[in-house]
Amino acid sequence: MSSINTTLDLNWRNGPKSTDIITDIRRFFTDIDSRPTVNLRLGYSTKADAVQLQENNGVLMLTRQNNTSPRSTKNAQYWARFVKTATLLNNMVVDKQALKTRFIQYRETRRHEKLDIVKRLMYDIAMTLQIHPTTFGIQQQESGMLKTPQGISLENEVVSDIFAYNDRQRTVLKKKQKIPGTRSIRLRGEKSIPCLVLDVNVKMAGGKVDAVVVVEHKNLSSILDIKNVLLVMTAGYPSSATKEYLHLLSQNPKLQAVPFLYFGDHDMGGFTIFQTLKYGSKNSAWASKMMVCPQLEYCGPLKQDLMESARLYRPQWEAQYLADHPGVTKLVADRDADYWQRKMDRKIKCKFMHHTKKDSEIKRSFDKLGWLDHEPLIKHEIDLIIGSIHPAKFRMADMTQVNILHLQRFIESKLLKRCANRAPVEIPPPVARGIRPQNTPSQPLAGMTQEGDELVLDTVETGDIHQTPDERSLSPEGELRALAAIHIP
């Protein structure tokens, strides 16, 4: 077993020319035919020291060690798949035809070959030849979305033909001379994140960016309308294009003083996405330099944030209730708010999930990589998930249980703490929604009697048990009667 003590750093932006790739592939075919063993750099290496957390130019990131492993050429099944996949990649370069990974799987591999096996073989070839997979013409996947604030647009220089771009003359271009194989794309509003972006220019035409907010789910864009915020949605586990684009934004001179904040699910998947965006992933550590966002901060939501959401939203709920029921006294409104908060607390408690065996395995992988030592807040939340008998996992969308706008106001509160010059968002006063006609006297709740200006609680009989309305509301029967007596917006 041979080992080289340097890191493997691959970048498609300075990839070899097509003729050099073809020469390297054919030379490797000769090695397979003439040697009993061949040294490979496996795409998904299982060596204990293959991926390490290291500092590179002051930035912590996961790096892939440039080590190799010998593989006997007598393993006919593996090498048949290897040579077949390498031949396809060679033909893609010769024909200058870029393909998606799924199409490569359907085109040349064996019937019912799993996609993971095809990707593993392509990565083995790319790592062994020390060539970025995109340079072969393997197309990146578009999955992420972004949403620009008003008055902001993003000018992107994008590679549209990877082969023409790599075969260009590597000379200094004249002013306004276009790079071969590239084109310009302007993004404004809500758009998909493009692939193979060389550079991003932030155009501020009367607008400004207070923060870059990264969220896990793109379906939240319909309820997140935050002023002066550049919203990046990873759509689950981020694609290479999304990670590269976020890295370019973090390096943009106009965004250097802007905080980058991450909001995701309170589970191991959400924490894994944060690790991938800030420190890189284990499977693509060979390209971490062009994929990490070192400024990214984890902002939750935490377990405590969800548990306290009903209490924090109660004043707004009570104000809306009084606007909808102008004749209701403060005592009645407080009692109805108490009932609503208890009901929401019970509903929120049901949203928490227990950890699984897989969660424990992911936690051990986090500990092995070592990045949790630099994120004490996430480490504490993982301890709540793994180390407690009480369920603690939940989805970020659960923050909308009390109100559809509560998640946006939660993010706004975090922005207010991180952005010194950001003005607080004023919550508009509640407007009556026409639930009860104006100037209509409010009737006391069932189980209460009006005596002058005071409301007196009655005791009601349920079987042999006498309960006050507060106690009765905790039972299913009392809850149904209370719901029939009052309207809860």
pLDDT tens digits, residue range 329-349?
Answer: 888 888 999 999 999 999 999
φ, ψ of residue 235 in degrees (nearest 5): 60, 55
Q: Where are the beta strands (DSSP E) in 79-196?
A: 145-147, 152-159, 182-187, 190-192
- pTM beyond 0.75, yes or no: yes
Give the pLDDT confidence score for residue 1 in this predicted structure: 34
Instruction: Kindly state the DSSP code that residue 238 receives in the 8-state scheme.
Output: P
Kindly tell me if the per-residue pLDDT of 31 is higher than 50. yes
Give the pLDDT confidence score for residue 468 in this predicted structure: 39
Rounded distance between C-alpha atoms, residue 335 and residue 470, angstroms: 8
Rounded distance between C-alpha atoms, residue 354 and residue 361, angstroms: 15
Give the pLDDT confidence score for residue 473 in this predicted structure: 40
Provide the CA 53 distance to its chain's centre, in angstroms: 21
Coil, strand, or helix at residue 141? coil
Q: What is the mean pLDDT of the chain?
A: 80
Rounded distance between C-alpha atoms, residue 97 and residue 120, angstroms: 21
The amino acid present at 197, given as its one-letter code, is V
For residues 157-175, average pLDDT: 80
Coil, strand, or helix at residue 34? helix
Residue with tokens 């970025």: 132
Joined tokens for residue 410:
């939660």
Q: Is 222 exposed, middle or buried (0-12, 13-18, 19+ CB in 10 A)?
A: exposed
pLDDT tens-digit profile of 81-124?
A: 888 888 888 888 888 888 777 776 666 555 556 777 778 888 88
Joined tokens for residue 435:
């639930």
Q: Which helix (H) or strand (E) holds 8?
A: strand 3-8
φ, ψ of residue 443 in degrees (nearest 5): -85, 145
Kindly tell me if the per-residue pLDDT of 461 is higher than 70. no
Q: Which residues contact 103 (CB under 8 A, 6 or more apart)?
A: none
For residues 392-400, average pLDDT: 90
Taken in order 144, 145, 149, 153, the sign of the CA dihedral is positive
Q: Which helix (H) or strand (E) holds 7?
A: strand 3-8
- Residue 86 neighbours by CB distance under 10 Å: 23
Joined tokens for residue 229:
């915020």
Rounded distance between C-alpha atoms, residue 113 and residue 122, angstroms: 14
For residues 210-216, average pLDDT: 90
Contact yes or no for 489/320 (Cβ under 8 A)? yes
* Angle (nearest 5°) at CA 385 between 384 and 388: 60
> Residue 374's closest CA among 279, 304, 300?
279
Rg (CA), the chain: 29
For residues 19-29, average pLDDT: 88
Rounded distance between C-alpha atoms, residue 296 and residue 274, angstroms: 8
